Structures are given as C-alpha cells and as structure tokens.
Amino acid sequence: MDPQPPKSTGQNRRDFLRQGFRGAALLGMGGLVGALSWRSSAETTRWQIDPQKCVRCGQCATACVLEHSAVRCAHAQAMCGYCELCTGYFEPDPNDLNTGAENQLCPTAAIRRRFVEDPYFEYTIDEALCIGCARCVEGCNRFGNGSLYLQVRHEICVNCNECAIARVCPGDAFLRVPVSRPYISKQIAH
Amino acid sequence: MLVRGWLICLCLGLGPLAVAEPRFPPPDFETEYQIPEEQYAPARALWVEYLDVAVLLGALGLASWFVARRRSRKAVLGLSLFSLLYFGFFKAGCVCAIGSVQNVALALFNPTYAIPLTVLVFFVAPLAVALFFGRTFCAAVCPHGALQDLILVKPVNVPRWLAQGLGVIPYLYLGLGVWFAATGGAFVICRYDPFVGIFRFSGSLTMMLVGALFVVTGLFVGRPYCRFLCPYGVLLKLAAKVSRWRVRITPDICTQCQLCEHSCPFGAIREPVVTRRDPRELARERRRFAALLALVPVLMLAGGWLGARFSGVAAQFHPVVELAELYLRHQTNPPSTPLPAVDALAYARAERDADALLANAVATRRQFNYGGWIFGAFAGLVVGAKLARYSIQPRRTDFEPDRGACYACARCFEYCPQERVRLGTWPAGEPIPGIAIPPSQGALSRKGTV
C-alpha cells in the first residue's frame, strides 16, 4: 500500500469542528422536534369562520387571495323561518316580494327562492354564484333567525399559512380548526 | 303579510344579536316538504395530508441520490420540474418549508398554538438532509428554487462584493420573520412571498408585481430569491456548511484545469487558495481578527438597543395593538366624521371588553420589546460574524463549490473533464487539461469501477 501523505492538522481540526457542529445541529433539531411534538397536533389545520364572532363586514369577498373568494354563504335550513319576507333575500323596503333583481339583496342573485306552501318559502344558496359578501348574512342575522352564515369552503380554499382574510377580519372570527372537523355549522340553541 | 313581517321585525329584530330563541320559529309544514340537510364537501382524509410529507421525503431522497451518486443534471432538472408542478402549482404553494419557519417560531413562543406534525416535518426534513448531503432541497425539491432555476436564461455574474453584501439580507429577513411570528403579529415571510401568487395565478397587485420583478430579474441573475432573500436558505446554508458529504465538481481528482471556473451561475465555485500569506503579516492579521471578534458583542448590544427602539413601530402591525390604538385614539380624541364601516365594527368589538384588550396590547408591546432586543442582537451578530469571517484564510487545493452557497444544481459536473471521462463522453486520445495526474489515480484508471 502506498504511504499516504500526512493530512495537515488544520484540515483535521476543521473536520472535527464540522463534526461537532453537525452533531450539535442534529441534537438541537431532535430536541426541537421532541419539544414541539409534545404539543403538536397530528392533524393539519384549516382556516374557518366562527359564525358567532362574524361581524358581517363584507371583507371576506375581497380580502381572499383567490379572485373568487373561498368564503361562501352557508344555510342552516333547520334554523330558517322560511319567511315570505326574508330579510336576507330582499332589499330593505322592497318594491314587491318577488324574485325581481331590483328586490334582491344579493349582488349576484346567488339565493334561490322557492315556494313551499303558504306562507313559506325555501331559500337555497347557489355557491357557484355566491361571493361571500355577507349582505344576506347581515340581513338574516339582524332581523331574522340568523340561519345564513359564512363558511370557508375547503374544496376551494388553498389554506394559506397566513389567511389573508383572517389578517383583516374586524371581528377576529377566523381560527384554525382541525382538518377532520373543518366546518363550524350553526345550530339552534335549545 | 308584508306588514306582519315588518312588525315582527320591529318587535324582535332590534333585540340582542345572539339568537337564543329563533325569532321566527321554524314552520310545521303541512305538505310533504322535508327540511334539507346542510351539504358540505367532505373533509379531506388525513392520509392526503400525509401524502405531501411522503412526497417531500421521497423527493429529498431522490434529489440527494441524483446529486451525490448519479451526478446527473438531467435527473435533477426532471425532479425540479416535478416539484414545481406538485408543490408549486398543484399544492398552490402552501405548505412550504420556507413558511414553516414561522409556524415553528409561533409554536415555540405561543403555547396555545399546536403546530401540525406535517408542518414540523416540512421544517426539519430538508435541514436534516442538508446536514448530510448539502442543499439538495434547494436543487430539486423547493418549488421556488425550481422556478428560478428553470427560468434562468442568460446568467450574469454578480460581483462578489455585491453578492456578499446582499447576502446579509436573508439573515435579517429570517430574524424579522421569526420576530413577527413569535409575537403572533404576522407571517411576514408568507405575506411578501413573491412566487406564491404565480403558483395560484392570482394574488394582490403588490404580490404579483413583486413576483414579476423577481421573475424578470431571475432571467439574468441566478436564483435572486434564494440568494438574496430566502430566510429558510439561511438555515440550510448553515446546515450545509457542516454537511457530512459535499458536492464535488470532479468525481475524483481535480486537475486544476479551470474549465469549471465560470460554470456556476450562482457564483458558488471558489478557486484554490495556493499562496500562503506572508508570515510577517500573520501577527497583524491575528490582531485584526481579535479586534473584529471583540467588536461582535458591541455590535450585538448596539443592534439590540436599536431593535428595541423600533419595536414600538413594529408592534403596530400586530392586530391587537392596532385595535387598541384605534380604541385609545377614538377615546381621547373622537373624530368628527364616523369611522369607516370595517373600523367601526372592530371598534365595537374593542368597546365590549376594552380592559382585556388594553391589557393584551400592553403585554404584546412588551413581547415586541423583548423581541426587538433579540432581533437586533441577532442582526449585530450576523454583521459581526460576516466581518470577522474575512480574516479566516480558507484552505483549498481544488476548485470546489462553497458548501453553504452551493445549491447542488449539478450544473458544474459536466464541465469537468474527469467527469466526462467517467461518463465516457471525453474524446478518445484527447489529453486532459490541467496538471498531469499519476496514472494510478483519477477517473481514467478507475473507469468502469465507479
């Protein structure tokens, strides 16, 4: 075997330091994972609106990073009063109680109004049209049962690390929820 | 009917907003009508979330193998294209390792925030790989890196002094990001990310403009975000500096032919240092190094003081402090015009529990103050260490990439004649440029065994 030239001591010292730092970094990372996994969640999180805290400011429609916001109106039908004069559907002081565009509160006509039986009407949200502006939610909550409310739709939401709507929400209504229970639906208070 | 509806509205509608009892009791239908159930798209299964982690780990492993063993630029390019499509366009940029720094900081300082395990893996795994193989994450897994790597058409050389100067920015950006995330104020790194808007084909105007600026710059300057802004790159760089194995241009022996000298578009290749400094200058050099080392604590202290001075301004970006300031402004000096609608809603929330809000704001301000000291000291340490570093003479006998600055993109490999001999693409009979190597060493003799 050929005699190997002796390595310079400097190189050995640097390798030794490098090894030391590498070991320290691995230890530190192990410690970090250990400390954080103690209170980490196995589940990832999603952004959602707490309907009880929502103040219907209308920024969900405009602040989302998506051009067509991931926030849409949801309807807890079991809470709905099926009112003929739905304050979530009609402008204040409407000309007439029909589906004319001039009577509707919704800027995109995303609420479908269907006669059920006298004097009840069913209201359903067309989510493809809804822009999450919360005008109907405001009307329904201020004067009605509050069965209309906003929710982040997770098949649309890109789940930004920092939600752009949460950042500007004046009601502080956005929160991270576990992915297995990603919706906060409204219930009737018993 | 109309009148009755409005009457009920008048009676009930102005009551408290929280609905204890429904104002209009749900009707008992006489017809067959069934109240429809609420429809939600089903929640995503957890395994889909873990799939991202599996793809990340797989891509990291493949990238390291492509760089260290296969030594194939084509394979790295293919993998980076996949990563760009998967982590970039398909996953729409979130979650990413760069942003995960903030989640980790928030989790460390805010006990109420439970960090998802997937995010933790996105933070740790690329760093752990960098400790062994260098920055293979940057090479082919990070969608930001992949995008910039693919659009680089005409690389221009950034002068060394400029690159070194701008190289301080990522450290400061990392410190700033951690400062804001730890205090719960904002995820700055995500908010001002230049490329996420491109991955989503939508975003705010500033985001798209900054993205376009980086893309245009990236056509001529190699990886401008990675080199001069990426905060996660700082951690990767530190990890790669002590990596177990390094990216080597030559598969075995460097003949100092200098063919690879300008092959790196990111200015990561360092030439051999052959000349020793004059021994008579050594004492002076040592004194300068000692003085610079002594300067570090001074810089840290000054930085900390400066950081604390600016913490008041920084705290105003925190939503709690912002609202408390709005409330106090309104209390002491009520404006003549009504507040904008959104502010009025926030103000109403502040009024409901003003004391708690103010106490919270004071606590947040104090946290920002501590954070300012730490951030400033960190900035001072970075500047001091950067200065002191130039007094350490590197020892290199070969042309080799700087461990920390190398993105492991594998571009330089094929510039090396030894590599081409290994691959069998070197013209037969053509002498190897550079210094002659003993026939017992080098790729020529080992060909077939590598």
3-state secondary structure of B175: helix
> Would you call A79 and B41 a contact, using CB atoms and an 8 Å cutoff?
no
Q: Which domain holds residue B109?
A: 1-25+48-245
Distance of CA A142 to the CA centre of its chain: 22
- Kindly list the residues from chain B whose CB atom is less than 8 angstroms away from the CB atom of residue A179: 43-44, 46, 49
Q: What are the residue ranges in chain B where pLDDT is below 70? A: 1-21, 42-45, 275-277, 437-450
> Would you call B49 and A188 a contact, using CB atoms and an 8 Å cutoff?
no
Does the residue B230 lie in any domain?
yes
Residues B340 and B376 in one domain: yes
Residues B267 and B414 in one domain: yes
Does the residue B139 lie in any domain?
yes
pLDDT for B320: 92
Distance CA B105, CA B115 (A): 10
pLDDT digits (tens, 9 = 90+) for B195-236: 999 999 888 888 899 999 999 999 999 999 999 999 999 999
Does the residue B33 lie in any domain?
no
Residues B14 and B163 in one domain: yes
Residues B65 and B177 in one domain: yes
pLDDT for B395: 75
Does the residue B42 lie in any domain?
no
> Would you call B38 and A77 a contact, using CB atoms and an 8 Å cutoff?
yes
* pLDDT above 90 as % of chain A: 57
Half-sphere exposure of B149 (CA within 13 A, CB side): 29
3-state secondary structure of B303: helix
Candidates B93, B187, B238; nearest CB to A162: B187
Domain residue ranges of chain A, discontinuous segments joined by +: 44-178
A contact test, residue of B38, B202, B206, B236 with most A CBs within 10 A: B38
Nearest CA in chain A to B88: A158
Q: Model pTM? A: 0.88
- Kindly list the residues from chain B whose CB atom is less than 8 angstroms away from the CB atom of residue A32: 104, 124
The domain boundary residue, chosen from B245, B261, B294 = B245
Residues B59 and B75 in one domain: yes
Whether A143 and chain B come into contact, CB under 8 Å, resolves to yes
Does the residue B100 lie in any domain?
yes
CA distances from A160 to A69, B120, B122, B163, B365 (A): 13, 16, 15, 31, 26
Q: Show pLDDT as tens, one digit a residue, over chain A (190 residues).
A: 444 555 555 568 888 889 999 999 999 999 999 988 887 877 888 899 999 999 999 999 999 989 899 999 999 988 899 999 999 999 988 888 888 888 999 999 999 999 988 889 999 999 999 999 999 999 999 999 999 999 999 988 988 889 999 999 999 999 999 888 889 988 765 4
Residue A28: CB atoms within 10 A of its CB come to 11
Residue B93: CB atoms within 10 A of its CB come to 26
pLDDT for B285: 84
pLDDT for B334: 83
Does the residue B88 lie in any domain?
yes
Q: What is the ipTM of this complex?
A: 0.84
Residues B2 and B71 in one domain: yes
pLDDT for B19: 43
Residues B260 and B342 in one domain: no
Residues B65 and B16 in one domain: yes
Total domains in chain B come to 3
- In this structure, the strands spanning A111-117 and A120-125 are antiparallel
- Kindly list the residues from chain A whose CB atom is less than 8 angstroms away from the CB atom of residue B440: 2
Residues B209 and B80 in one domain: yes
Q: How far apart are the first and last CA of chain B?
A: 90
pLDDT for B241: 92
Whether A62 and chain B come into contact, CB under 8 Å, resolves to no
Does the residue B291 lie in any domain?
yes
Residues B377 and B293 in one domain: yes
- Kindly list the residues from chain B whose CB atom is less than 8 angstroms away from the CB atom of residue A11: 395
Whether A77 and chain B come into contact, CB under 8 Å, resolves to yes
d(CA B425, nearest CA chain A) in Å: 31
pLDDT for B21: 67
Nearest CA in chain B to A159: B94
> Would you call B27 and A168 a contact, using CB atoms and an 8 Å cutoff?
no
Residues B261 and B313 in one domain: no
If you count residue pairs, one on A and one on B, with CB atoms under 8 Å apart, how many are there?
Answer: 210
Residues B209 and B180 in one domain: yes
Does the residue B36 lie in any domain?
no
Taking alpha carbons only, the member of A21, A3, A66, A48 closest to residue A183 is A48
- Contact between A147 and A77 under an 8 Å Cβ cutoff? The reply is yes
The domain boundary residue, chosen from B363, B390, B417 = B390
